[in-house]
Amino acid sequence: MGRLPGLNDTPTDEAGAFLRTVLRALDGDLAARLPRLADPADARAVHDVRVTLRRVRVALRLSRPLFGRFLADEVRAGFAGFQRATGTLRDDEVLLDTVRGLGLPDAALTRWCAQRLRRQRALRRAAVRLSQGPALARARGLLWFLTELPTRPRRAQGLHHFAAAAVKRQARRVRDLGEVALTDPTGLHALRIAYKRLRYALVLLAPGLPEDAHARAREASRHQDALGAAHDLTVALAAVGRARGLPAALRARVRGALAAREAEALGALAALRGGSAGEGTDCAAGQS
């Protein structure tokens, strides 16, 4: 994940002032990316908007000790509806890409993919409307209001102390979920989210962390990507299983191909976890 625009190379040592700068930079990044949603030819538009949305929500979660849980969560909640809408759209994009990637030539499957594409276009139109609507505008306004509030003296923290404590909390969540079984998709999804939050915390707070923060973020990203690959295939299996528009024999064939790829993804995840045993959790924990 790249550097955020608007952040100085020598940030303030006060955590509240730094998080305000981060949140304003994220809002600017979001404003620049939102118009891309209207362009269906922009294959990365939805992904990029969602990356910024997740950064915003993680930054707000991290800021609870500085601004108070109530205010931080109130602003976070304002972005929830738009995040759900873009999440549904992105899931549909990934599903269609996954099924098409199987390379199964079949007229019925081609028709089913065309139907999914029409649904996807409707989801995109809905997301575009929300991106231009009052709910998101209000959420962004609340975000800026939050960044205008001074940090109460009793909540003021130095950036280095705050960043270390925040990353430690996220790393603890990863460790708590680290032994989840490969046969537990719900647990693996929770672990993926934990790695994602750890990764974003490491990147967003990097100026207040030791020099190894980016290396630790890359390690978290590798686990997140492996978990994401397995999750996408698990979701695709379930979606195709519900696809009554596909003949039963074809549905079984597609599910068989997906199951084989899911097994490969889980195997890669197992290898990654095995290769980082004693390293991945240490990398997650890092220095505090």
CATH number (domain holding residue 151): 1.40.20.10
Does residue 268 belong to any structural domain of this protein?
A: yes
Computed over every residue of the chain, the mean pLDDT equals 89
Please indicate, yes or no, whether residues 41 and 139 belong to a single structural domain of this protein.
Answer: yes
Full residue range of the structural domain in which residue 167 is found:
158-288
Please indicate, yes or no, whether residues 151 and 20 belong to a single structural domain of this protein.
Answer: yes
Q: Quick check: helix, strand or coil at residue 199?
A: helix
Does residue 1 belong to any structural domain of this protein?
A: no
Please indicate, yes or no, whether residues 103 and 167 belong to a single structural domain of this protein.
Answer: no
H or E element: which one contains 257? Answer: helix 248-275
Q: Give the per-residue pLDDT at 282.
A: 47
User: What's the token pair of residue 181?
Assistant: 């079984």
Residue ending a domain, among 157, 183, 204, is: 157
Does residue 88 belong to any structural domain of this protein?
A: yes
Please indicate, yes or no, whether residues 90 and 163 belong to a single structural domain of this protein.
Answer: no
The candidate with the shortest Cα–Cα distance to 240, out of 220, 228, 258, is: 258
Under the banding of pLDDT at 50, 70 and 90, the label for residue 76 is very high
User: What's the token pair of residue 270?
Assistant: 């197992």
Please indicate, yes or no, whether residues 124 and 197 belong to a single structural domain of this protein.
Answer: no
Identify the residue with better confidence: 144 or 277: 144
d(CA 60, CA 22): 10
Under the banding of pLDDT at 50, 70 and 90, the label for residue 275 is low
Please indicate, yes or no, whether residues 17 and 134 belong to a single structural domain of this protein.
Answer: yes
| Mean pLDDT across 29-38 | 96
Cα torsion for 219, 221, 227, 233, to the nearest 10°? -140
Instruction: Give me the residues paired with residue 14 across strands.
Output: 158
Contact 120, 92 (CB under 8 A): yes
Please indicate, yes or no, whether residues 55 and 139 belong to a single structural domain of this protein.
Answer: yes
Residue ending a domain, among 157, 189, 204, is: 157
Whole-prediction pTM: 0.85
Largest CA distance in the chain: 66
Does residue 27 belong to any structural domain of this protein?
A: yes
pLDDT per residue as tens digits for the range 245-261 = 889 999 999 999 999 99
Provide the domain count of the chain: 2
d(CA 286, CA 101): 38
d(CA 119, CA 132): 20
Residue ending a domain, among 135, 157, 179, is: 157
pLDDT per residue as tens digits for the range 162-188 = 999 999 999 999 999 988 999 999 999
Does residue 59 belong to any structural domain of this protein?
A: yes
Under the banding of pLDDT at 50, 70 and 90, the label for residue 285 is very low
Please indicate, yes or no, whether residues 20 and 99 belong to a single structural domain of this protein.
Answer: yes
H or E element: which one contains 29? Answer: helix 15-33
pLDDT per residue as tens digits for the range 81-138 = 999 999 999 999 999 999 999 998 889 999 999 999 999 999 999 999 999 999 999 9
Please indicate, yes or no, whether residues 21 and 61 belong to a single structural domain of this protein.
Answer: yes
Please indicate, yes or no, whether residues 84 and 182 belong to a single structural domain of this protein.
Answer: no
Does residue 90 belong to any structural domain of this protein?
A: yes
Does residue 22 belong to any structural domain of this protein?
A: yes
Please indicate, yes or no, whether residues 69 and 123 belong to a single structural domain of this protein.
Answer: yes
Task: Identify the weakest region by mean pLDDT among 20-24, 174-178, 232-236.
Answer: 174-178
User: What's the token pair of residue 64?
Assistant: 């609870």
Please indicate, yes or no, whether residues 166 and 115 belong to a single structural domain of this protein.
Answer: no
Alpha helices, H only, 40-149: 45-62, 64-67, 69-78, 80-100, 107-131, 134-148
d(CA 27, CA 8): 16
Does residue 130 belong to any structural domain of this protein?
A: yes
Neighbour-count burial of 9, counting CB atoms closer than 10 A to its CB (0-12 exposed, 13-18 middle, 19+ buried):
exposed
